[in-house]
Amino acid sequence: MFYGIPLTSRLLLGTAQYPSPAILGEAITASGAEVITVSLRREGAGGGAFRELLRDTGRRILPNTAGCHSVREAVTTAHMARELFATNWIKLEVIGHADTLQPDPFALVEAARILCSEGFAVFPYMTEDLILAERLVEAGCRVLMPWGAPIGSGQGLRNPEGLRSLRAHFPGIALVIDAGIGAPSQAAAAMEMGFDAVLLNTAVAKARDPVGMARAFGQAVAAGRLAHEAGLMLRRDMAVASTPVFGMAELA
């Protein structure tokens, strides 16, 4: 549940870089995702045709501020998004490093505080830093979106221990792994750790078969969540026989 809105699917899907609008639409359907993200700055989302395509999918739209490098840019873009898509949901990105696309933590908190005070439901893209997470929650965020790895890298969960600590520290906050996921197995691993959802784009959009990959990610996210809820076995240092020795025949 995000900001009081219940969802069935735990996969959020980006809409950039697909070979064609038709394939994008098919991939969204195949993934089962109920939330799709769109960037005003990178997608040319001001175009009516593209907005109509997104609305026709029937999915909830999560606009984002991708490409913004300052508080002013991000806040202005969020206001534009609210008007264009008639939603107070915003995925907040304030980039601080051009090469790694790592967010600027100071500008991120400042922008989040402004937008939360203005009635936005903010989904901040962040690193797995606990102090940053605390500041964002204090600012009013009820969802946090830590990266698995740098955007578009496909490295998966680069700091699993840090992510586990974040999950343990914020049991009542929805946590979404955002960025760096390159394979369905990585998405399943995030869900097995107890994260609430996964957001990805490039791994599907740039696949040889985006529709098939979207379906694979949808199934992986569902399987990972089911495994988490069922209770994963503990990892052991030694072998433990799965076959009982009692009642076995004694051969002399």
- Residue 199 pairs with which residues in a beta bridge? 12, 178
Catalytic residue among 10, 59, 82, 91: 91
Separation of alpha carbons 36 and 27, rounded Å: 11
Contact 43, 16 (CB under 8 A): yes
Residue 149: count other Cβ atoms within 10 Å of its Cβ: 19
Contact 168, 162 (CB under 8 A): no
Q: Is 206 a catalytic residue?
A: no
Residue 186: count other Cβ atoms within 10 Å of its Cβ: 23
Separation of alpha carbons 132 and 134, rounded Å: 5
Binding-site residues for 1-deoxy-D-xylulose 5-phosphate sit at: 152, 179-180, 201-202
Each as own residue / partner, the long-range contacts of residues 247-250 (CB below 8 Å, 24 or more positions apart, any chain) are none
Contact 227, 191 (CB under 8 A): yes
Contact 159, 18 (CB under 8 A): no
Residue 168 CB partners (closer than 8 Å, separation 6+): none
| 60: nearest Cα among 118, 12, 120 | 12
Residue 107 CB partners (closer than 8 Å, separation 6+): 70, 71, 74, 94, 96
Residues acting as catalytic residues: 91
